Structure 1
Amino acid sequence: MRRTLVIALGSLGAWLALAVPAHAGGPSMILGAAEDAVRAPDLVTTKAKMTELRLAGFTAVRVTSNWRPGLTAPTSGELGVLRNIEAAARLSGVKVLVSVYSPGSATTPLDPAAQSQFAQYAAALARALPSFDDIIVGNEPNLNRFWLPQFGPDGSNASAPAYLSLLAQTYDALKAVDPALRVWGGALAPRGSDRPEGIRPTSSPTAFIQAMGTAYRASGRTLPVMDGLAFHPYPDNSSQSPDFPHPRSTSIGLADYGKLVSLLATAFDGTAQPGSTLPILYDEFGIESTIPAGKASLYTGTEPATTKPVDEYQQAASYDVGLQLAFCQPTVAGVLLFHSQDETALLSWQSGVYYADGTPKASFSAVQDSLDRTRGGSITRCDGLSLDVGLTNVRFPGPRQFTDGMRDTRFRCTLDCAWELRATRTTTGAVAARVRGFARYGRTTVASLAGRKLGAAPLRLSLTVTQAVNPGASATRESGELRPR
């Protein structure tokens, strides 16, 4: 598959002059869920939850592992849970990403001893579970819920330099285990007040990335600190469309990709740490849905007024819009929905495609289809995106079958494809019959010339497929010479 990017001037703002790689976005993205429901002390429960994930269309899951002060390796109980996840993921064909972080601001790893312990913990986890090759370091360090202090006595940003120090140590420890491990930094929340004197001191992602860049340049480090940036592009509330931009604020959502890339460029370009070309993983993106009366008994507490959940059909539509946006963003490596299954406390997240009891919502099939169209390359049209499609499992009728009246050709496309089957006379090259259609990737499709008048002259069948929405190079296969009855 070839991905060609020719981005029109002005389509994504000032960052267009930056060189962006063609290795992300499009159908190659990781598509999964951030879901700790798969964490269980027994393999049977973990496998059941992993199967639910897979049935919903997710092929990746992000799970968490909490470091606490004093730990230099996961406990035996924690390793048991993670090994259950590893086994269930292997059986289900699901990729696992692990987010390692302290559970709250009371345990922020600030001093050298704590940061060393954290790095050792992450390395020990990676060493014990070699199939987990994507590690996310930290969780929303720009929020006071997970990281304190956010600001120094003089009001300057304190969280970003301290987090950068932790990230660098953990990066080095993980790379010592396996240089091929992908280390994701950031895991940033999309908003922050940047008010040191505020009741809830938080840093905006804009200020945090800028402060990280300043600290990195001042450190003199000659190695990167991350292979990609994890980011949480939640909208301001669940009723806001994901394509709502924030051009005049410090917030960053899915529609602010150009702003995010520009910030990374300013922070890191020209150093050993990639900036504008850095892969981006949206490892949390959630839209909460309202709970119908028939399911209310599954939930506890009260929904915060600021959440503004939507009905399940709008939830599915918002996820579709979010996937469309990410699909066309060249450095995006993946999207993980938060969650696949609702949390029971209404104070938390009811953003899954399953209710808290594991039954599917009305959004289930629509989200499943959105994920499928994303993998097939047809969820939306992207300017300058060209996707080459391949053909597999092509089965033309054999000579005897064709003479006996068999007119079906079976095949699979490697991406969603528009197909054309032609019957051409071998003596003149004239087209005797032609049929066209659309096929979903990876599914056996039947192109049939049944009922078409083909005459008695020898024929050759020719099957051509092209990616249906973002067409690149076509693929063609031909049969041998065939004779109608």
Structure 2
Amino acid sequence: MRRRLITLLGPTIAFLALALPAHGAGPKMTLGAAEDAVRAPDLVTARTTMTQLRLAGFTSVRVTSNWLPGLVAPTSNELTVLRNIEAAARLSGVKVYVSVYHPGSRTTPLEPTAQAQFARYAAALAESIPTFDDIIVGNEPNLNRFWLPQFGLDGANASAPAYLSLLARTYDALKAVDPGLRVWGGALAPRGGDRPGGARPTSSPTAFIQTMGAAYRASGRTTPVMDGFAIHPYPDNSSQSPDFPHPRSTSIGLADYDKLVALLGAAFDGTAQAGSTLPILYDEFGIESAVPAGKRSLYSGNEPATTKPVDESKQAAAYDLGLRLAFCQPNVAGMLLFHSHDEKALLSWQSGVYYADGSPKASLSAVRDSLDRTRGGSIARCDGLGLDVALKNVRFPGRAEFLGGKRDVRFRCTLDCAWEVVATRTTTGATAARVRGYGRWGRAIVASLRNRKLGRAPVRLTLTVTHPVNPGLSATRESAVLRPA
């Protein structure tokens, strides 16, 4: 339940609120889609799309809610849509992130009154729907499409200090509703020109973070402005591999994790705002696939030449590689693919695993498997990562079953596991039989000793599981003494 804080204690409690874990990589990272197709005026439609997300392997969704000048709370229609999302997510077991932002640069909240209205809107949204615990503030404020001005008359970056002011106001308003809310700042585009006099004035994420840090330090603020940092690490085009680095440019992609952490550290370390330990959310990452001829009638317009879409097998491979990269990046809290469903306009994004009509692409099953291996901890081998596997629902055969030849050991692993069952003679300690195999997390696994020659001496069965890719501590269970004959 939400709690309003006593005004006197609000800033102190908000400051002391628990932060996100510093290390979010590995099987616990959030895996979902940035998908507004779940925004629906009725629960049935929202639930149908949410179910499709789950079938594709997504367990999180990021939706948007647009603030407009003058609004201090979501409209009744907006609340209806958001409550449908909340109900559909709850029924489908999906976690919701909400991105609150203004829809374009003409509505940029620059003045104190507008920023106060924006902050009140976000707080009212969070208070109205208590299960929405993750709020992303803004969307790509380093692009002129969403934020103007980008630069001042003197050519200095103007968007980052103005956005920082909005972020701070919104952070304080949200924490006054509930100090446990997680507030994500940034939501930056991966590229920008840093040319004040250009026809399309944009700021690179590198310059934006640096200027945000300078503005924060100059403000004298003694409390944070965000619990995590969101960014959209798209490749330069859909044909570029996700592991392409940008060491000599100001762009930030998935392969530029170390650069991003260093930038955040230089900007904020040593202040009340975490920097190099700040959790990172890749809340948009998309690879567009080419629309096959049989589906062309579902779409309108023409694909921009700069997009360079790939076939669906390459889309799946790119998503797999992206997940492998993020999995081994210690501060990463999650990745949200943009989208689950294609947009109909070819000028927009055809990066989903479903076509615009909701039918599955060939990439869907491969992406679902990549998501599953990520949750099981097997998508990549990471230096220094040790995963401890636990056992669940272990059932050894009973004495009568074993004597009658039913010699199956049934169990589940909490992560992907390499398993071994050893039958040891209790009289001599010698090994009578051994079986090995691999299992996926959460699935029912059967290790069978049927048709194995065990002799007549009593035996004890020992089940041991360990992680097959990032081994940590093993888990072991033993049976009672069993007689083969």
In the superposition, relative to structure 1, how do residues 176 and 210 fare at CA in structure 2: closer, same or farther (>3 Å)?
Answer: same
Match of 1:128 in 2: 128
Match of 2:196 in 1: 196
The structural deviation recorded for 1:427 is 1.2
Using the alignment, how far apart are the partners of 1:373 and 1:219 within structure 2? 44
Using the alignment, how far apart are the partners of 1:88 and 1:21 within structure 2? 28
Match of 1:7 in 2: none
Amino acid at match of 1:403: L
Q: Secondary structure at the match of 1:387?
A: coil
Q: Secondary structure at the match of 2:27?
A: helix
Match of 1:405 in 2: 405
Amino acid at match of 2:387: L
Using the alignment, how far apart are the partners of 1:23 and 1:474 within structure 2? 22
Q: Is the 8 A contact 1:189 1:205 kept in 2?
A: yes
Using the alignment, how far apart are the partners of 1:484 and 1:443 within structure 2? 28
Q: Percent identity?
A: 81
Gaps of 5+ in 2: 1-19
Q: Is the 8 A contact 1:261 1:275 kept in 2?
A: yes
Using the alignment, how far apart are the partners of 1:213 and 1:88 within structure 2? 39
Q: Secondary structure at the match of 2:477?
A: strand
Match of 2:181 in 1: 181
Using the alignment, how far apart are the partners of 2:285 and 2:22 within structure 1? 23
State the Cα deviation string for residues 170-192 of structure 1 (Å, max 9, x = none): 00000000000000000000000
Using the alignment, how far apart are the partners of 2:23 and 2:306 within structure 1? 37
The structural deviation recorded for 1:23 is 2.9
Match of 1:77 in 2: 77
Kindly report which structure 2 residues correspond to 1:146-295, keeping only aligned pairs within 5 A, or say none: 146-295=146-295
Using the alignment, how far apart are the partners of 2:339 and 2:410 within structure 1? 38
Match of 2:359 in 1: 359
TM-score (norm 2): 0.96
TM-score (norm 1): 0.96
The structural deviation recorded for 1:232 is 0.2
State the Cα deviation string for residues 305-338 of structure 1 (Å, max 9, x = none): 1000000000000000000000000000000000
Match of 2:88 in 1: 88
* 1:470 correspondence with 2:470: yes
Match of 1:44 in 2: 44
* 1:27 correspondence with 2:30: no
Match of 1:101 in 2: 101
State the Cα deviation string for residues 8-39 of structure 1 (Å, max 9, x = none): xxxxxxxxxxxx97631000100000000000
Q: Is the 8 A contact 1:21 1:330 kept in 2?
A: no
Amino acid at match of 2:38: V
Amino acid at match of 1:142: N
Moved more, 329-338 or 380-389: 380-389
Using the alignment, how far apart are the partners of 1:33 and 1:410 within structure 2? 34
Match of 1:11 in 2: none
Match of 2:11 in 1: none
Using the alignment, how far apart are the partners of 1:392 and 1:338 within structure 2? 35
Structure 1 runs of 4+ off > 2 angstroms?
20-23
Q: Secondary structure at the match of 1:221?
A: coil
The structural deviation recorded for 1:267 is 0.2
Using the alignment, how far apart are the partners of 2:61 and 2:249 within structure 1? 31
Match of 2:461 in 1: 461
Alpha-carbon RMSD across the aligned residues, in angstroms, is 0.8
Q: Is the 8 A contact 1:254 1:326 kept in 2?
A: yes
The structural deviation recorded for 1:59 is 0.2
Report how many aligned residue pairs link the two structures: 466
Q: Secondary structure at the match of 1:27?
A: coil
Gaps of 5+ in 1: 1-19
Q: Is the 8 A contact 2:34 2:338 kept in 1?
A: yes
Match of 2:113 in 1: 113
